[in-house]
Amino acid sequence: MALQNNNFTRRSLLFMPGDSMKKIQKAAGWEVDTVILDLEDGAAQNRKVAARTTVSEALQTLNFGGRERLVRLNHLNTGLPRAEIEATAAWRPDGYIVPKAEDAADLHAVDQLLAIAEQQLGLPDGAFRLFAMIETALGVMNLREIARATPRLEGLIFGAEDLAGDIGAVRTRAAWEVFYARSAVVTAAAAYHLQAFDMVFTDFHDAPGLETESRFARQLGYTGKSCIHPNQTPVVNAVFSPSAEEIDRAQRLIAAFEAQQAAGAGAFTFEGKMVDMPMLVAARKVIARVGRRTPVE
């Protein structure tokens, strides 16, 4: 079972190119829960070493406040993750992201590299968190073993763009071409007590479209969403935060349930609807999200 950081609510995860100190510096003070320092797609092939150096410098010198700092590694088949971890681990990022995770072996390999880094730095086992990006057909088929691969795994991040390319789908605004995989990722995350983060919304000028897609992702069960532009994070944070109305209703439903239990009653109605356990569980989850801290509030 995953050893989650249950006191941390991640709503927005913002990818920043690892070779741009200017952009990372902006993200360090932005309204975002998690800053992802990207060594993979965010850095051109001839900028990988430069990105590694910039990310190390950013971790060492910038004040991110309470924002979580994750480093997205390159895929294992590039041979780069070992050097990337060696260059950045000493400056204590909160965790690492495995891109295009396709089986448990991908997670095991990075887990071993992190264990070595922890030992060399005198850190406790599991000090570095781990996240897996699910963005290939094989990754979707192997979700169960990926989710169970290591106790340091805290979340699954759905990547629709790479998945669509992998399966030969044509991306559309409705996103039905990736709906099966999108549902599979959030279901696997729930089954293995992981957080789940929805795909990026590529049109960063379309705030209403982002809000609509984010609301649907929350309805599916996602706990947060990946972002590619700072302007997207306020919208995402708002959608994935319980509203005052949701909090009030959840509190009243829980109070009504407890009163009924104290009176020895079983089933009861609340606001014209029969209350069952799934409704109570949902209400408690709303309150639990309110109780967890977020880094920018």
pLDDT digits (tens, 9 = 90+) for 170-202: 999 999 999 999 999 999 999 999 999 999 999
Q: Residues 107-134: what's their mean pLDDT?
A: 98
Q: Residues 98-123: what's their mean pLDDT?
A: 98
pLDDT range class, residue 266, cuts 50, 70, 90: low
**Average of per-residue pLDDT values in the chain:** 91
Burial 14-53 (b: 16+ CB within 10 A, else e): bbbbbbbbebbbebbebbbbbbbbbbbbbbeeebbeebbe
Whether 296 is covered by a domain: the verdict is no
Single out the residue in 220, 239, 258 at which a domain terminates. 239
Do 142 and 272 reside in the same domain of the chain?
no
What is d(CA 19, CA 218) in angstroms, rounded to the nearest whole number?
32
Q: Residues 73-89: what's their mean pLDDT?
A: 97
Burial 162-175 (b: 16+ CB within 10 A, else e): bbbebeeeeeeeeb
Q: Could you give the number of structural domains in the chain?
A: 2
Single out the residue in 222, 239, 256 at which a domain terminates. 239
Q: Residues 213-234: what's their mean pLDDT?
A: 97
Task: Give me the pLDDT at residue 291, please.
Answer: 56
Q: Residues 202-216: what's their mean pLDDT?
A: 97
Amino acid at 21: M
Whether 69 is covered by a domain: the verdict is yes
- Position 164 pLDDT exceeds 80: yes
pLDDT range class, residue 3, cuts 50, 70, 90: very low
Single out the residue in 195, 211, 239 at which a domain terminates. 239
Task: Give me the pLDDT at residue 82, please.
Answer: 98
Q: Residues 217-224: what's their mean pLDDT?
A: 96
Do 133 and 211 reside in the same domain of the chain?
yes
Do 151 and 269 reside in the same domain of the chain?
no
Whether 1 is covered by a domain: the verdict is no
Task: Give me the pLDDT at residue 132, please.
Answer: 98
Whether 21 is covered by a domain: the verdict is yes
For residue 251, give its domain range. 244-291
Q: Residues 244-260: what's their mean pLDDT?
A: 76
Q: Residues 153-177: what's their mean pLDDT?
A: 97
Do 231 and 254 reside in the same domain of the chain?
no
Do 137 and 23 reside in the same domain of the chain?
yes
Do 137 and 283 reside in the same domain of the chain?
no
In angstroms, the Cα distances linking 277 to 17, 219, 284 are 44, 18, 11
- Position 117 pLDDT exceeds 60: yes
In angstroms, the Cα distances linking 182 to 49, 55, 158, 160, 188 are 33, 30, 7, 8, 10
* Structure-model confidence comparison of residues 29 and 269, the more confident one: 29
What is d(CA 210, CA 146) in angstroms, rounded to the nearest whole number?
29
- Position 6 pLDDT exceeds 60: no
Do 68 and 170 reside in the same domain of the chain?
yes
Whether 4 is covered by a domain: the verdict is no
pLDDT digits (tens, 9 = 90+) for 29-62: 999 999 999 999 999 899 999 999 999 999 999 9
Do 222 and 80 reside in the same domain of the chain?
yes
Q: Residues 120-129: what's their mean pLDDT?
A: 97
Task: Give me the pLDDT at residue 264, please.
Answer: 72
pTM score above 0.95 = no
User: Residues of the chain with pLDDT > 70: what percent?
Assistant: 92
User: Residues of the chain with pLDDT > 90: what percent?
Assistant: 77
- At 245, is the secondary structure helix, strand, or coil? helix
Whether 150 is covered by a domain: the verdict is yes
Task: Give me the pLDDT at residue 75, please.
Answer: 96
What is d(CA 264, CA 260) in angstroms, rounded to the nearest whole number?
6
Whether 7 is covered by a domain: the verdict is no
pLDDT range class, residue 292, cuts 50, 70, 90: low
Do 169 and 218 reside in the same domain of the chain?
yes
Task: Give me the pLDDT at residue 195, please.
Answer: 96
Residue whose tokens read 């060399």: 120
Phi, psi of 142 (to 5 degrees): -105, 25
Do 207 and 264 reside in the same domain of the chain?
no
Q: Residues 210-224: what's their mean pLDDT?
A: 97
* Structure-model confidence comparison of residues 276 and 107, the more confident one: 107
* CATH number where 40 lies: 3.20.20.60
Whether 213 is covered by a domain: the verdict is yes
Do 185 and 285 reside in the same domain of the chain?
no
Do 147 and 232 reside in the same domain of the chain?
yes
